[in-house]
Structures are given as structure tokens and as C-alpha cells.
Structure 1
Amino acid sequence: MNATAPPLAGLCTYAQGGEPGYSVERTVQLLRRYLFVESQTMRCLVAHLNAVPEWEVKCGLSLHLWQDAEHCTWLRNRVKEMRTPPLHLDRIPDSGLDAFFQELIRSRNTLELLTGVYRVLKPASIAAMQRHQSEANPLVDQPTRRLLRFILLEEEEQLAWGDATLRSLFDKVDSGDSVEPGECWAAHLQAYLDAAGGIAADGDRATEKELPPARAQEPFNPIRTPQRDERFTRVWHSRGRLPNGDISATERNWFQLYMRLTEMHVPELMALIIYDWDDQPWEFYHDMARQLWDEARHAMMGEIAFELSGLDWAAVPHEISFGEFPNSELEPADRHCLLWGIEQGLMKPDGKQLEYKVARESGDPLSTTFQDFDWADEVLHAQIGRRWLLPAFESMEAMQQRYEEVLARFQAILDQDQALARAEWWDAFYQQIPRQGKKQAPAPN
């Protein structure tokens, strides 16, 4: 037959389409395992976000945990399409896989965490999904193969980042022997993954007697105080005393860029809301992971502005109490309420809208773009807060009352820190900023 276009929508040849591939039952079994792996990886990353002192690692983990949350949502939706009630989407599919993650979450430092995720877990996940893609029938299960292709695209990017980061960390570690740093921990975790039959449950399972002693015998308590590495010389419980009143648009613009830079405490707050608030529907965790990543992006916006101006962004005060106080003193719902109240206040005309206007008036086109997208993100975040807090507090009035109560406690911490003599730092910093003529940002379309 003379075809006018490639047959079978260009998905495969007739011979490829003639291979039976995986059954629905096997496909769902695999998708549930991938789902568990992605969700537990996200949980491990949020559990360690405060503990990781390296700024760049915090940024990378923030991106990856959101991507993993996205992958979970895609996988959940695909399982729902595949004629397999009950869905068991939140059930542990294999006690062996659960044991692996109980070990991984007990990583004791950045090197161990990244070794476990990017040297053991991610390569195994990628290999399992690649094998799934190659063995599934390309026509009958095109929807699964399509979503695996998108997941693999991001997983492979994550793996490349993790590999580069680990090489950098290895260079800084002088182990004094021929064993690569993290190698023993990688072997420990690999043994537990092998005991689960691997990601796809198609490998030989080790017996419990063959496993190394489990760290899971010890309780796991996440670090609740945000950590910073040695580059950060001013880790404070406030940002000090900042400019207010009648200042130029240029100075106010730099104040806003500084505020963006020092927003990393928001992802650190949100990470343990996700970890501690363990009885919410999946959509809550997906929304919160997205917001966490947005807030990390905002910090990186400030980082770019400082870096391009030749300013040491680690040397300015970085306030951690917005993470430490709620993480240590408040229940998850109250932590989220504190965050929501602040973001809701920024929806007023003198909030994000004014920040965008100031950036434009300063003639800084890059800052204008930053504030434009920051404003859009915060509108979404205020909506997320209302969506998930209303069921917990039952009314906006109750939410507002709780916000005011916890804000007063937080403000007392700021006031105490701002009373210190060191708090007067802004004027000296502002004098260091290069003065460059900048074109007015174009009006939005």
C-alpha cells in the first residue's frame, strides 16, 4: 500500500507495534513504584534543605524536589487512567523500597545526601524508566512512554547537576586514603536498593542478613535551623535596620533586590511544612513544592543582580529566623499561616505592585523583569495559602487572627536583633554599589 504519511502516526514500525510489551498490570506496578520513588525523593530533599549549608546545593535541591513533585502528579494521573481500582497511590508498594528511603533520609551531610540521590538512586531510576520505554509497546502504551520521556529529560538533567556538584565536593574533601568520599555510603545504600529488587523489582533480592546495619534503628530528626556555609559571615536573626522613608528609586530598587536575595529562608520554612504536615492530600504537597521552588528562584534573582554588579552576595546579612522560629516553635498550619499572612499583605497596592513600579522608575530593566515575575508568583502563592489554610482554620477571620498572633512572636525576634549595634549596615553597603546609567525598562505589552 502506498502511504501518504508515515504509518501509525509515526510512532513506530509495524514490526515494533507488533511486540506485545508490558501488560496493564505490569505497567501499573511499575508506575506505582516510580511514584513512590519520586515522592520519597522529594521528602528526603525537603527534610535536608535546612541542613545543607551550601547555597548552590539548596538552589539545586529546590528545583529537583519541585520537578519530582511534578513527576508524581503525572504518574498519579496515568495510574488513574489504567483500569486498576483501588488506586493505592499513597501506599508503600514494597517494604524493601521503604527501607532504602529510611536509610537515605538518614544521610549525615551534604556529601552523603548527594551521593545517595545522584550516585545510587537517580541512575537506577533512569535505567529502569529507559528500560520501560524500550520494552513497552510504542502504540498501545504511547501515553506512558510519552510521560516517561518528559520525566527522563528532567531526571537526566538532575543527574548531570548532581554529578558536577559531587565532583566539586570531592575536590574539597581530603579523605587521606584511596577510597572516594561517599563510596562506603553508596555501597550501603546500594545494598538496600538491591534488597528491594531495584527500582523495577526485577533484580535478585538480598536477604536481610546480607544487609549492612541499618541507620533506621536511630530516630531521624531534621535540622530545623537554616545552615549557611563559611562564605556567609553575617547570619542574623533579622536583616538589620533597613532604609525607609524618602529614598531614591535607585536605592529602593537595591533594597528590593537585597530582599529577593535573602528570601532563601522561605524555602527553608516551606521544606519542613511539607515534611511535618503529613496528613494532607497529594495536591497540597505539589502546590507547596511549586511555591518552595518559586521562592528559591526569587533568591537567585537577587543573586544574579549582586553578582553582575560585582557585589559579594554572601557578605550581606542573611536572616534565618523566618525559617528557624516557625520550624522550631510552630505547628505546620501556623507556619503556613504566617507565610500566607505576609504574602496576602503584599497583594495591596503598596506591596508587589509598588515594587514593580519602583523597579521601572529606577531605570533597571533586569530588576523590572525580576519584580514582574516575582509579583506574578506571589499572587499564586496567596491563592495557594487560602486554598489549603481555609480547611484548617475554617474562616478567613480565624486565619487572620492566627497570623497576627504568630507575627507578633516573630516580630519580637526581629526587634531584639535589630536593637544590636551591628544592625546599622545598609548605608555603608549602598555606598559600595556601582553607579551605572541604565535605560528605562520598556512598558509591558
Structure 2
Amino acid sequence: MTTTHLPGSERGKYMRYDTAVILKRFYLCEKELVISQAGWIPGIPFFDMKTLLPKILWEDAMTANALRERVFELRFPSRILEVGSDQSLIELIQMSRSAPNALAFLSVLAKVFKPALMRAYETYLSLADNIGDGPTYRFLNLAVEEKQRQMKEINQVIEREMAISDQADIDLANQWTAEISQRLKKLGDIGLDSPQVVDPITQSLPVFAPLEIPQRDQRFTNLRFYWPDNIDSSFPYGEGIQLQLRSAVSHLNEIWAVENAGHVLFSFAEELGWEFIYDAARWVYDESRHCRMGYERLRSWGFAEKELPLGTYIYDSCAGQDPIYRLGMLFYFESKNIGKKLDRIKNFENMNDRTSQHDMDFDWADETIHTSYGKTWLSAALKKRGQDPDDYTDIKNVCEQIVRRSVQTATADEKAQITAIANQMIAKVSS
């Protein structure tokens, strides 16, 4: 018998549009998880996690961006990314932000959503075509590797913190994780097919918003002002050893910028869209690297966490303000201090302190990028509000005023406390 056609194969399972529909679902999930992780940074007390989550959400943003661009390639010329039938899945991710505590949020992240996405990526890779859809193969294989590592890192923090947490907090975390997991199962998991049709989420939960006053790790010395010169102009920034120490403490205290950048990403995600989220994810990650720079230098000089001051006054000063001032605060401090960093780099070179020089050198490079972010997105936010997108004067003035008001509330006890801490630190490294 003569055949009229040659046989096909499994390689032709998913056509171009089918692939775009699946990758669009993956993108939407990654995007919502980036927003969730950013919004929770101020509410996470654990220092290791507060400085690790920015890297994780940046990796997720890189994956999301690759997914998004691939969808546009496959749907060319259309650049529409509607939620459509994935609405119930996206609503569940958004609902999960209202976790009762940080352990609950992290547990859902590491035990529910990240495993679900990893399974979905692995399933897709096993069925899709690595010739026709070769570009997707590269970044999804990387995403699988990153998810595996992320889950391990987050679970390690969860296990350590649960060992010293109140049982009530642990119970809340376990209950929340079980509930979100069950809801995801009813939807059919995150997969290659559209979520199952289920009743809309009607559970009444508090509307999630990033904390206005951040949670901090009790292993450190937590106060409002992290060095005497924050509130005492007569206390010198210092030279030599004191400059090395002051610079490291300043880097450590960019933890406020980590928290603030997370708050900003969450607050403007819907208003400014994906391109902003993508830049802001990098901004959050960079600030966390600067924080870790200071931490690692201080630890290498023999300081224990309890000897290290973590201040909150810059972050606190924005409490209750329009989030545009948090964005302005990041931009203001980036542009204000960038010129000083070149002098610091030269000073550390003269001291033969290669580590401080190295850290400040990379910091300077990051800050030049951040200044561009600040101009671009502050202008976009002002334009959205019907204001002159090129005039930052009012924003800058308000930022200066609210920080000044915060400094003016410093008490004699606060001044004495941070002065004693600073002098003890200087004495320790000078002996």
C-alpha cells in the first residue's frame, strides 16, 4: 500500500501559539512572585533572608523577562499579554501575600510556588521542541537550576528560624502553607494547561502592603541612627582606620535601601509596569549586595553581629508618605553620595585596603546605573500624576525635610548610645 504522506513525531506537539500561551502563564506567575517577594522584604526580620531574597527575586525577574520577550517573538506582531484564563492562578499568588508572618510567606514560596514552577518548567522541557523552540530551552534550563537552589536556600533559613520561633508562629506558617497548597491543587497546579475553573476566592484577608517600619534581626544592635554623624555634625567621618570602619558600617546600613527599593517595586508595579519592575528588581539586588559588602568586611575584622548597629531612620522617615517619596529618597541619596565614592576608592587604594577599594569601586558602578533608574522612573511617576516629569525640586525638598525632621527627633539617649557603640568599634580595631 502506498502512503500519501510521511509520519510526524512528538516534536510537533506544541505549535507556536500553543507555546506562547504556556510561556505567558509562566511569565505572569514569575512576575507576581517578584512583586510579592519585593513587598515582603521590609517585613522579613532575618538578615540572611532579607539580603538573599533580593538576589532570588532578581533571578526570577530575569526569567520573567526572558519569558515575556519569547512570548512577543512567538506572537509577533502582537505585544498584548492578557491574563485571561489564568486569572484564578494569579489571584491565588496575590492572595498569598497576606501571609500571617514572614515564616508563612517564605514557606509558601519555598514549598508551594517555586516547586510548582520548577515542575512546570521540567514538564515543558520534556515535551517541547528543543529545535523549533531552542531559545526557550536555554533560559528555562537555567531557571530550573535557580529554582532548585532557591528552594534549598530558603528552606535552610526556615528550618533555622523555626528552631527558635514561637510555636504559635510555626503553627500559623504551617496552616497557611497547607491552605495555599490545597488551593493550588484545586486549580490543577501551575502547568501546561489552563487552571481549573473554581469558585472565585472570597476569603476576607487584610489587603497586603509593605511595612512602613521594617522588621529587623535581633542578633544585631537595632536603633534608629547607625553612626553618630547621622545626628551629631561634630563627630568626624574620620580618616584611616576610622574611614574604613565608617565606610563598612555605611555599606551595612544600606539595608534601609534594600527595604525601601522593595517597597518601591511593590508600590509602583501596577502603575509603571513591567519595564519598571525589571529595573527595580536589579535595584533591590544591587542594594543587597552593598549591604553584604559592609557586613562581610566588618565580620572579617572580628565584629560579632551584636556589635553592629543597624539603623532605620531614613526608611522610617517615609512612613505614611506617598510612595513617590520613597522613590525620590533612593534617587536623592544615590545622586547625593556618588561623587564621594571616587574619593573613597582613592583613599582605600592609598591604604592598600583592596577589599574596601574593590567594594566601593563596584558600588560606584552600580550607583551610576541607579541614578539613571531614578531619573527614568521618577519622571514616569510624576508624569502619571500630571506633574512636570523633568522637575524633581519638590520631591527633593520633601525628602530633605522628612529626613531632617527625623534627625531632629533624636534624643540625648540615642546620641549617647550610638556614640558609645561607635567609639567601642573604633577602639576595637585600633588596638
- What band does the TM-score fall into relative to the shorter chain? 0.7 to 0.9
> Is 1:407 matched up with 2:400?
yes
Cα distance in 1, alignment partners of residues 195 and 42 from structure 2: 36
1:93–1:157 CA distance, 2 compared to 1 (3 A): farther
2:55 aligned partner? 63
Give the secondary structure class of the aligned counterpart of 2:99. Answer: coil
Between Structure 1 and Structure 2, which shows a larger proportion of helix residues? 2
**Partner AA of 1:241 in structure 2:** D
1:316 aligned partner? 308
Structure 1 segments unaligned to the other structure (5+ residues): 1-14, 436-445
Cα distance in 2, alignment partners of residues 204 and 244 from structure 1: 61
Cα distance in 2, alignment partners of residues 56 and 114 from structure 1: 13
Tell me if the contact between 2:276 and 2:377 (Cα under 8 Å) persists in the aligned partners: yes
1:245–1:172 CA distance, 2 compared to 1 (3 A): closer
1:173-322 equivalences in 2 (<5 Å) = 173=165, 175=167, 182-200=173-191, 202=193, 205=196, 207-208=198-199, 215-237=203-225, 239-241=227-229, 245=236, 247-277=238-268, 278-322=270-314
Cα deviation, 1:40-93, whole Å, max 9, x if unaligned, reads: 111111121111111111112111111111111111110110035544336365
Cα distance in 1, alignment partners of residues 228 and 8 from structure 2: 66
Using the TM superposition, give the Cα deviation of residue 396 of structure 1 relative to its aligned residue in structure 2, in angstroms: 8.1
1:69–1:358 CA distance, 2 compared to 1 (3 A): same
Cα deviation, 1:178-230, whole Å, max 9, x if unaligned, reads: x987433222111221232211254884844xx9x865543333322111132
Give the secondary structure class of the aligned counterpart of 2:163. Answer: helix
1:422 aligned partner? 417
2:4 aligned partner? none
Tell me if the contact between 2:325 and 2:398 (Cα under 8 Å) persists in the aligned partners: no
Cα distance in 2, alignment partners of residues 432 and 257 from structure 1: 15
Using the TM superposition, give the Cα deviation of residue 173 of structure 1 relative to its aligned residue in structure 2, in angstroms: 4.2
> Is 1:371 matched up with 2:360?
yes
- Residue number among 325, 329, 343 corresponding to 2:320 in the alignment: 329
1:398–1:202 CA distance, 2 compared to 1 (3 A): closer
Cα distance in 1, alignment partners of residues 75 and 218 from structure 2: 54
Cα distance in 1, alignment partners of residues 43 and 124 from structure 2: 35
Using the TM superposition, give the Cα deviation of residue 244 of structure 1 relative to its aligned residue in structure 2, in angstroms: 5.3
**Partner AA of 1:264 in structure 2:** I
What's the Cα RMSD here?
A: 2.7
Cα deviation, 1:255-298, whole Å, max 9, x if unaligned, reads: 10110011100011111111112310311111111011101111
TM-score of the superposed pair, with normalisation by structure 2: 0.87
Tell me if the contact between 1:62 and 1:292 (Cα under 8 Å) persists in the aligned partners: yes
**Partner AA of 2:425 in structure 1:** F
Using the TM superposition, give the Cα deviation of residue 387 of structure 1 relative to its aligned residue in structure 2, in angstroms: 1.8
1:98–1:344 CA distance, 2 compared to 1 (3 A): same
1:128 aligned partner? 120
Tell me if the contact between 2:229 and 2:237 (Cα under 8 Å) persists in the aligned partners: no
Q: Answer with 361-370 or 288-297: which moved more.
A: 361-370
2:375 aligned partner? 386
Cα deviation, 1:386-425, whole Å, max 9, x if unaligned, reads: 1222344476872144213321221221233265432423
Cα distance in 1, alignment partners of residues 243 and 225 from structure 2: 22
Tell me if the contact between 2:63 and 2:140 (Cα under 8 Å) persists in the aligned partners: no
**Partner AA of 2:419 in structure 1:** E
> Is 1:157 matched up with 2:186?
no
2:3 aligned partner? none
**Partner AA of 1:382 in structure 2:** T
The alignment covers a number of residue pairs equal to: 413
**Partner AA of 1:197 in structure 2:** G
Cα deviation, 1:368-401, whole Å, max 9, x if unaligned, reads: 1111111111111111111222344476872144
Cα deviation, 1:235-269, whole Å, max 9, x if unaligned, reads: 21453336855843221121101100111000111
1:137–1:203 CA distance, 2 compared to 1 (3 A): same
Cα distance in 1, alignment partners of residues 166 and 403 from structure 2: 41
Tell me if the contact between 1:195 and 1:205 (Cα under 8 Å) persists in the aligned partners: yes
Tell me if the contact between 2:85 and 2:194 (Cα under 8 Å) persists in the aligned partners: no
1:362 aligned partner? 351
Tell me if the contact between 1:36 and 1:92 (Cα under 8 Å) persists in the aligned partners: no
**Partner AA of 2:329 in structure 1:** L
1:11 aligned partner? none
Tell me if the contact between 1:31 and 1:79 (Cα under 8 Å) persists in the aligned partners: yes
> Is 1:27 matched up with 2:19?
yes
Cα distance in 2, alignment partners of residues 256 and 201 from structure 1: 50
**Partner AA of 1:187 in structure 2:** A
Tell me if the contact between 1:356 and 1:371 (Cα under 8 Å) persists in the aligned partners: yes
Tell me if the contact between 2:45 and 2:215 (Cα under 8 Å) persists in the aligned partners: yes
Using the TM superposition, give the Cα deviation of residue 367 of structure 1 relative to its aligned residue in structure 2, in angstroms: 1.1
TM-score of the superposed pair, with normalisation by structure 1: 0.85
Using the TM superposition, give the Cα deviation of residue 102 of structure 1 relative to its aligned residue in structure 2, in angstroms: 3.0
Structure 2 segments unaligned to the other structure (5+ residues): 1-6
Cα distance in 1, alignment partners of residues 304 and 8 from structure 2: 57
1:75-90 equivalences in 2 (<5 Å) = 75-83=67-75, 86-89=78-81
Using the TM superposition, give the Cα deviation of residue 142 of structure 1 relative to its aligned residue in structure 2, in angstroms: 0.7
1:16–1:301 CA distance, 2 compared to 1 (3 A): farther
